[in-house]
């Protein structure tokens, strides 16, 4: 998810970084309930710098063990290690004594920039780095104050190291011994954080804290939850989005041993049938035995074929303008030989995180408890409260470890949580675990929207694009939601145009516009959001321009990038340097391809070594360079990029598209919608981090946009073809 | 009967010249059983076409591939999850056929099963590497080539068609994951065995170039 | 409903279940052994991999009625298995996991490979692990960890 702000690039909560919420926008009031950020009336006034209370984040036990609470979901990105590293470093804690836990939903755990508890937008480190530094510094200050008080010395006379306070005259006290007294100290309003030169943990390769339990089967994900008396539920969803139940014949279903109940429930759109049983397998069998008649009369049946026709037609007309600089006269006047006209197609994509969606809820009348691997705790907690007619603070919301998310667990309408709450309401007093099967997941919507692009480029005499006219057609992610006010300007949803509208390439006459059709398909942000398709378009077209100019594609990019595109320039130069040796001796049948892209504040360049095997791209190697500012945990960053590019290749998989035919999703499971397996991923990936002391920016999403164009650019050199329609069904 | 395998080659040549047999020794094996009514070559070829219609049905041909992978479904697409042939047609160490396919159909989960699930050897491929089904004459020749068919003569082939678990499976292939029953070959097992018998009795004639 | 006597990680366990219940759900819900994961239910992802009669097996498609007397070994037993222990330690030492949900299955598959092929080539690794899905994409590190583990297992 992106916001049109610049995340903290200084060592303080940026004064320009609060969100502008229009008081007159339809969702304005609701937004202010979600976000505790200043409204327009207070614009200009700096937001009060928040002093987060350490006791909500750090628990020092008498035996010296330290538990650090992480204000975000851990769903693979490594935050349960990297944020504790930051805090532990400032605190001078003994790292071997540190473990992490995931925070439940609470005000104090809200993202300091976004103002809601969430993970997304690659913001874990970017938004909470300074916050956790200050928490660590505060905790240290209180420990030192407690020791100083005991020893009747000045705090300045004390040092800290590895969970020990050292005082004058050889005095020392362990953090575990001081914890109780430290908790009674006043929380300092301001603290001094370390000079980065003093970092002991930050910047060093640090192994994940959660590896062992993830390797021995002991770590419980949401789906593994088992509570006394718990029932399991599945929901029969309508075969077309928005359908409603007309009649239910549940005789056969109810006859199964262990069945609890079958009843209709409201969905985000339309209605469905909840099936509740003692066990998952019983519930699933029962659902298969249900005979449901669906009312699909008022449902608009979305159809991929028809949508392509509509989209491509729209792409030939100017939409709502996102960017307009210079003029397009040059383009219109240019001859065909100095013009590129390109049309691109991107299908719906499903996230399919490895752990199927699930939520457990217990409703007790005046309170409720929720267990969910949620990327959106504040919003989900509110949704459950609303469904149960409770106040949010009557809902205890536990954050479970999640088996992947990629955006799928951050849903504005909290539809899975609401389904679970509705079922729990009926089963008052009994905890209910709602499970979406993989089929429910593949067919259940909330996809990366399909997009059509049409680009016309007028090529200048020097081979650079003199004029560029770009139309993007695809659904808005946030229209009609509380996020619309901050993400839609002039009718353009920035999540659809990011990566193009904000390009770092120096294109003097640049016009980007967008259309947002509204087919009946629920859509959602998919890891790196608009960059997924925009980076593909930009980076393949730039490569095509370089080829026409007979220039090395790396040199071409360096020439065309704006001078101040620092992160891109640095990562591109580093990737070039680290790949020049192998690029120079590629075997026959191999070609190299390059792509660079900046997303969520991080610049990435990727060079791939590709050949074609059995009609598919075989990626022998990817050399990646990244400029993400200060690298908090280089090991995490390396892992994120090595793995993130494998995820990104979802876009190229032959069966990597969700398609609809007359309202029904055609794919059912991984046999029809197939993500990358080991053989589809690069065999080797070397990652190089540009040394930097700038404020850290995220690495969760940045690996995704570059890989598909980098591979396709290599393919283009092998085959001479242009690839403008994804997924890649024929090479 | 074993002694029939040791007939001198010269006699095979003479008999072949007579034109009444395509494979000499096979007919001699048949004489060990109660002698059936002599089957004409024409009847034998007709029986072979019936056999061929079963062999090339998806339930059979999906495992008689020319590639290093099996197929699945009536549209004979490549089997999902990158399962491959392996050295012995049984898959690879962590991804064997029996990693999923058990000794009986699992109708509750949609996975077919029979004892010893594995791929037919490449010598028994009945399609080419482009999934194109091989012509009847080619399949017949392969089937009757002892160097390709694990040394089976007529009775051996008949026994294979009668008793082999994977062959039997094709006629009771179970329920697919979407709940529908898998489509059946064009003959019942009994009809298939009968047709095989007729073909063997006719000396396993193969069509010419069809 | 039928009664089944299963041998799980060396112990005899008695369960009552519908014959068609996949072994996966018997393990998870009858025996509360949640280390073996549900990822797809159609054997396309490998998250449910156990060892059945010594063979890597996708438990989501094996009905409990077809298990018989074959011993079942799950991820929970790998810490006490000489190959399993080395694989787990290597996975930890080399920071293989991200979200971790697929890793029980990846490790069970890796152990099956190494028990059969102690010195696997890159091709062996890709063939045997090539049917296990990791949505996070940790494949590069899985490859390296298997090679490292095979080095340690002399």
Judge whether residue A570 has pLDDT over 90: yes
How far A17 CA lies from chain C's nearest CA (Å)? 31
Of A285, A288, A679, the CB nearest to B82: A679
Judge whether residue A337 has pLDDT over 50: yes
pLDDT of residue A411: 97
Q: Which of A49-58, A135-144, B79-88 has the weakest average pLDDT?
A: A49-58
Beta strand A395-399 with A368-372 is parallel
pLDDT of residue B34: 65
Neighbours of B210 (CB within 10 A): 12
Is A551 strand, coil or helix? coil
How far A516 CA lies from chain B's nearest CA (Å)? 35
How many Å apart are CA A369 and CA A356, to the nearest integer? 21
Domain count, chain B: 1
pLDDT of residue B118: 98
Q: Please provide residue A330's backbone torsions phi and psi, each rounded to the nearest 5 degrees.
A: -60, -40
Q: What is the pLDDT of residues A479-526, one digit of tens each?
A: 999 999 999 999 999 999 999 999 999 999 999 999 999 999 999 999
Q: Which residues of B touch A671 (CB under 8 A)?
A: 80, 177
Share of residues in chain A with pLDDT > 70 (%): 93
pLDDT of residue B33: 61
- CATH code assigned to A315-347+447-719: 3.30.365.10
Q: Which of A4-8, A304-308, C18-22 has the weakest average pLDDT?
A: A4-8
How many Å apart are CA A209 and CA A87, to the nearest integer? 14
Q: Please provide residue C63's backbone torsions phi and psi, each rounded to the nearest 5 degrees.
A: -65, 145
Residues whose CB falls within 8 Å of the CB of residue A674, separated by 6 or more in sequence, listed in order: A653, A654, A655, A656, B80
Q: Which of C117, C128, C149 to mutate to test the interface with B (most CBs of B within 10 A)?
A: C128
| Interface touch A677/B179, C-beta < 8 Å | no
Per-residue pLDDT 10s for chain B (210 aa) are: 444 444 444 444 444 444 444 444 555 555 556 665 667 999 999 999 999 999 999 999 999 999 999 999 999 999 999 999 999 999 999 999 999 999 999 999 999 999 999 999 999 999 999 999 999 999 999 999 999 998 999 999 999 999 999 999 999 999 998 889 999 999 999 999 999 999 999 999 999 875
| Cα distances (Å, whole numbers) of residue A450 to A401, A475, A533 | 30, 7, 9
Yes or no: say if A340 and A544 are a contact pair by the CB < 8 Å rule: yes
Q: What class has domain C2-76? A: alpha beta
First vs last C-alpha separation in chain A:
32
Q: Where are the beta strands (DSSP E) in A553-601?
A: 591-599
Is A523 strand, coil or helix? strand
pLDDT of residue A10: 29
- Chains with ≥3 CB–CB distances under 8 Å to B: A, C
**Nearest C-alpha neighbor of A669 from the set A441, A408, A351, A403:** A441
| Interface touch C55/B99, C-beta < 8 Å | yes
How many Å apart are CA B161 and CA B197, to the nearest integer? 9
Q: What is the pLDDT of residues B153-191, one digit of tens each?
A: 999 999 999 999 999 999 999 999 888 999 999 999 999
Would B20 be classed as within a structural domain? no
pLDDT of residue A331: 83
Q: Which helix (H) or strand (E) holds A371?
A: strand A368-372
pLDDT of residue A300: 97
Would B180 be classed as within a structural domain? yes
pLDDT of residue A658: 98
| Interface touch B82/A288, C-beta < 8 Å | no
Buried b (16+ CB within 10 A) or exposed e, A578-609: bbeebbeebeeebbbbbbbbbbbbbbbbbbbb
How many Å apart are CA A472 and CA A344, to the nearest integer? 9
Q: Which residues of A touch C45 (CB under 8 A)?
A: 354, 670
**Nearest C-alpha neighbor of A625 from the set A692, A689, A558:** A689
DSSP state of A709: H
The predicted complex's ipTM stands at: 0.99
Q: What is the pLDDT of residues A258-269, one digit of tens each?
A: 999 999 999 999
How far B24 CA lies from chain C's nearest CA (Å)? 44
Residue A376 tokens, joined: 């959106």
Residue numbers of A between 663 and 682 with CB closer than 8 Å to B: 668-671, 674, 677, 679
Q: Per-residue confidence at A639, pLDDT binned at 50, 70, 90?
A: very high
Neighbours of A559 (CB within 10 A): 16
pTM score: 0.92
| Interface touch A677/C133, C-beta < 8 Å | yes
| Interface touch A642/C136, C-beta < 8 Å | no
Q: Per-residue confidence at A329, pLDDT binned at 50, 70, 90?
A: confident
- Please, what sign has the CA dihedral across residues A497, A500, A503, A507? negative
Query: What is the average pLDDT across A304-325?
Result: 98
Q: Which residues of C touch B109 (CB under 8 A)?
A: 20, 22, 41-43, 60-63
How many Å apart are CA B80 and CA B71, to the nearest integer? 8
How many Å apart are CA C95 and CA C114, to the nearest integer? 20
Q: Which residues of C touch B94 (CB under 8 A)?
A: 49, 56, 108-110, 112-113, 116, 128-129, 131-132
Q: What class has domain A54-212? A: alpha beta
The answer to whether A54-212 and A315-347+447-719 have equal CATH topology is: yes
Mean of the per-residue pLDDT values for chain A? 93
pLDDT of residue B32: 59
Q: Please provide residue B82's backbone torsions phi and psi, each rounded to the nearest 5 degrees.
A: 55, 35
How many Å apart are CA A240 and CA A325, to the nearest integer? 42
Buried b (16+ CB within 10 A) or exposed e, C67-91: beebebbbbbbbeebebbebbbbbb
Residue A342 tokens, joined: 């390109």
**Nearest C-alpha neighbor of A612 from the set A594, A593, A589, A592:** A589
Q: Per-residue confidence at A336, pLDDT binned at 50, 70, 90?
A: confident
Q: What is the pLDDT of residues C65-91, one digit of tens each?
A: 999 999 999 999 999 999 999 999 999
Q: Which residues of C touch B92 (CB under 8 A)?
A: 113, 124, 127-128
The answer to whether A633 faces chain C, any CB pair under 8 Å, is no
How far C11 CA lies from chain B's nearest CA (Å)? 22
Domain boundaries, chain A: 54-212, 222-298+357-435, 315-347+447-719
The HSE-up count of residue A156 (CA atoms within 13 Å, CB side) is: 0
Would B4 be classed as within a structural domain? no
Domain boundaries, chain C: 2-76, 77-152
Nearest chain B alpha carbon to A285: B108
Q: What class has domain A222-298+357-435? A: alpha beta
Residues whose CB falls within 8 Å of the CB of residue A237, separated by 6 or more in sequence, listed in order: A267, A272, A440, A443, A444
Cα C111–chain centre separation: 8
Of A285, A668, A677, the CB nearest to B82: A677
pLDDT of residue A330: 76
- Provide the H-helix boundaries in A465-561: 484-487, 494-497, 531-548, 553-560
Q: What is the pLDDT of residues C90-108, one digit of tens each?
A: 999 999 999 999 999 999 9
Q: What is the pLDDT of residues A359-389, one digit of tens each?
A: 999 999 999 999 999 999 999 999 999 999 9
How many Å apart are CA A52 and CA A130, to the nearest integer? 11
Q: Which residues of B touch C61 (CB under 8 A)?
A: 100, 106, 109-111
Neighbours of B17 (CB within 10 A): 8
Cis-peptide into A727, omega within 30 deg: yes
Task: Give the structural domain span for B72.
Answer: 35-201
Number of residues that this document lists for chain B: 210
Enumerate residue ranges in chain C where pLDDT < 50: none
- CATH code assigned to C77-152: 1.10.150.120
Would B112 be classed as within a structural domain? yes
**Nearest C-alpha neighbor of B205 from the set B141, B127, B142:** B141
């Amino acid at each position: 998810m992106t916001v049109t702000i610049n995340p903290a690039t200084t060592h303080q909560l940026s004064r320009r970084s609060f969100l502008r919420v229009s008081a007159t926008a339809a969702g304005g009031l609701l937004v202010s309930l979600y976000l505790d950020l200043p409204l327009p009336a207070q614009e200009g006034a700096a937001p009060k710098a928040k002093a987060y209370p350490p006791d909500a984040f750090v628990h020092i036990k008498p035996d010296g063990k330290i538990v650090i609470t992480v204000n975000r979901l851990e769903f693979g990105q490594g935050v349960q290690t990297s944020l504790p590293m930051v805090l532990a470093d400032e605190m001078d804690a003994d790292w071997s004594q540190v473990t992490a836990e995931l925070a439940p939903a609470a005000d104090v755990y809200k993202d300091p920039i976004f103002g809601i508890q969430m993970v997304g937008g690659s913001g874990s480190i970017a938004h909470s780095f300074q916050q956790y530094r200050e928490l660590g510094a505060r905790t240290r200050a209180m420990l030192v104050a407690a020791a100083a008080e005991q020893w009747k010395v000045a705090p300045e006379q004390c040092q800290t190291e590895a969970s020990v306070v050292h005082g004058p005259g050889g005095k020392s006290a362990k953090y575990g011994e001081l914890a109780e007294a430290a908790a009674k100290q006043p929380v300092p309003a301001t603290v001094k954080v370390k000079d980065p030169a003093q970092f002991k943990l930050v910047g060093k390769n640090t192994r994940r804290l959660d590896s062992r339990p993830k390797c021995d089967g002991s770590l419980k994900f949401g789906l593994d939850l088992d509570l006394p008396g718990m029932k399991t539920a599945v929901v029969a969803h309508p075969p077309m989005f928005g359908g409603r139940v007309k009649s239910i014949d549940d005789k056969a279903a109810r006859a199964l041993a262990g069945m609890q109940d079958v009843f209709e429930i409201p969905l985000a759109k339309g209605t469905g049938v909840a099936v509740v049983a003692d066990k998952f397998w019983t519930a699933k069998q029962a659902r298969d035995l249900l005979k449901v008649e669906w009312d699909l009369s008022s449902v608009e049946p979305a159809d991929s074929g028809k949508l392509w026709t509509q989209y491509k037609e729209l792409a030939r007309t100017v939409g709502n303008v996102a960017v307009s600089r210079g003029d397009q006269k040059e383009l219109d006047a240019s001859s065909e030989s100095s013009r590129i006209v390109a049309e691109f197609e991107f299908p719906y994509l499903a996230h399919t995180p490895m752990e199927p969606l699930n939520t457990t809820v217990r409703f007790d009348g005046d309170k409720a408890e929720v267990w969910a691997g949620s990327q959106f705790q504040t919003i989900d907690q509110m949704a459950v409260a609303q469904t149960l007619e409770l106040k949010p603070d009557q809902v205890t919301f536990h954050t479970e470890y999640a088996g992947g998310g990629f955006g799928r667990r951050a849903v504005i309408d909290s539809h899975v949580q609401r389904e679970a709450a509705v079922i729990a309401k009926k089963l008052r007093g009994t905890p209910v675990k709602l499970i979406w099967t993989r089929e429910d997941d593949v067919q259940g919507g909330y996809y990366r929207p399909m997009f059509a692009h049409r680009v016309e480029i007028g090529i200048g005499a020097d081979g650079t694009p003199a004029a560029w006219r770009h139309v993007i057609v695809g659904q808005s992610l946030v229209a009609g939601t509380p996020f619309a006010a901050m993400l839609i300007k002039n009718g353009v949803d920035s999540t659809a145009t990011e990566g193009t509208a904000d390009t770092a390439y120096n294109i003097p006459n640049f016009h980007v516009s967008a259309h947002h059709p509204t087919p009946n398909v629920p859509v959602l942000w998919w890891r790196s959001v608009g960059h997924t398709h925009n980076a593909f378009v930009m980076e393949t077209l730039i490569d095509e321009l370089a080829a026409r100019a007979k220039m090395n594609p790396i040199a071409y990019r360096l020439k065309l990038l704006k001078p101040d595109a620092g992160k891109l320039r640095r990562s591109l130069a580093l990737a070039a340097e680290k790949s020049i040796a192998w690029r120079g001796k590629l075997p026959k049948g191999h070609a190299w391809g390059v792509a660079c892209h900046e997303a969520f504040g991080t610049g990435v360049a990727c060079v791939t070594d590709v050949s074609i095997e059995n009609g598919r791209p075989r990626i022998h190697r990817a050399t990646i360079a990244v400029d993400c500012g200060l690298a908090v945990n280089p090991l995490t960053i390396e892992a994120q990029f090595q793995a993130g590019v494998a995820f990104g290749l979802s876009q190229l998989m032959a069966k990597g598209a969700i398609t609809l035919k007359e309202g029904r999703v055609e794919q059912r499971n991984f046999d029809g919608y197939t993500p990358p397996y080991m053989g589809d991923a690069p065999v080797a990936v070397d990652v190089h981090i540009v040394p930097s002391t700038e404020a850290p920016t995220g690495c969760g999403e940045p690996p995704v946009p570059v890989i598909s164009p980098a591979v396709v650019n290599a393919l283009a050199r092998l085959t001479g073809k242009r690839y403008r329609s994804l997924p890649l069904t024929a090479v | 009967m074993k002694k029939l395998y040791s007939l001198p080659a010269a006699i095979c040549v003479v008999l072949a010249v007579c034109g009444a047999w395509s494979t000499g020794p096979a007919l001699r094996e048949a004489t060990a059983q109660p002698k059936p009514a002599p089957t004409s070559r024409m009847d034998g070829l007709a029986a072979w076409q019936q056999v061929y219609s079963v062999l090339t049905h998806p339930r059979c041909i999906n495992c008689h591939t020319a590639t290093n992978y099996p197929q699945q479904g009536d549209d004979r697409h490549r089997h999902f999850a990158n399962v491959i042939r392996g050295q012995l047609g049984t898959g690879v160490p962590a991804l064997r056929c029996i990693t999923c396919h058990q000794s009986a159909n699992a109708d509750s989960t949609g996975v077919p099963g029979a004892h010893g699930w594995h791929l037919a050897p490449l010598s028994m491929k009945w399609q080419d590497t482009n999934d194109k089904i091989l012509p009847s004459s080619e399949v017949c020749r392969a089937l009757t080539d002892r160097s390709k068919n694990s040394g089976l003569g007529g009775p051996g082939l008949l026994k294979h068609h009668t008793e082999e678990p994977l062959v039997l499976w094709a006629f009771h292939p179970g329920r697919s994951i979407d709940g529908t029953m898998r489509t059946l070959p064009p003959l019942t097992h009994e009809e298939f065995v009968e047709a095989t018998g007729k073909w063997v009795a006719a000396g396993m004639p193969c069509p010419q170039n069809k | 409903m039928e009664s089944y006597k299963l041998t799980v990680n060396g112990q005899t366990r008695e369960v009552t279940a519908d014959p068609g219940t996949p072994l996966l759900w018997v393990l998870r819900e009858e025996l509360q052994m949640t280390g073996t994961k549900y990822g797809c239910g159609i054997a396309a992802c490998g998250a449910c991999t156990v060892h059945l009669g010594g063979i890597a097996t996708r438990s989501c498609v094996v009905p409990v009625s077809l298990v018989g007397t074959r011993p079942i070994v799950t991820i929970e037993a790998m810490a006490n298995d000489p190959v399993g222990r080395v694989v787990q330690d290597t996975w930890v030492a080399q920071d293989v996991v991200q979200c971790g949900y697929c890793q029980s299955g990846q490790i069970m598959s890796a152990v099956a490979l190494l028990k059969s092929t102690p010195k696997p080539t890159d091709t062996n690794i890709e063939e045997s692990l090539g049917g296990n899905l990791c949505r996070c994409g940790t494949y590069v590190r899985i490859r390296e960890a298997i090679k490292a583990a095979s080095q340690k297992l002399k």
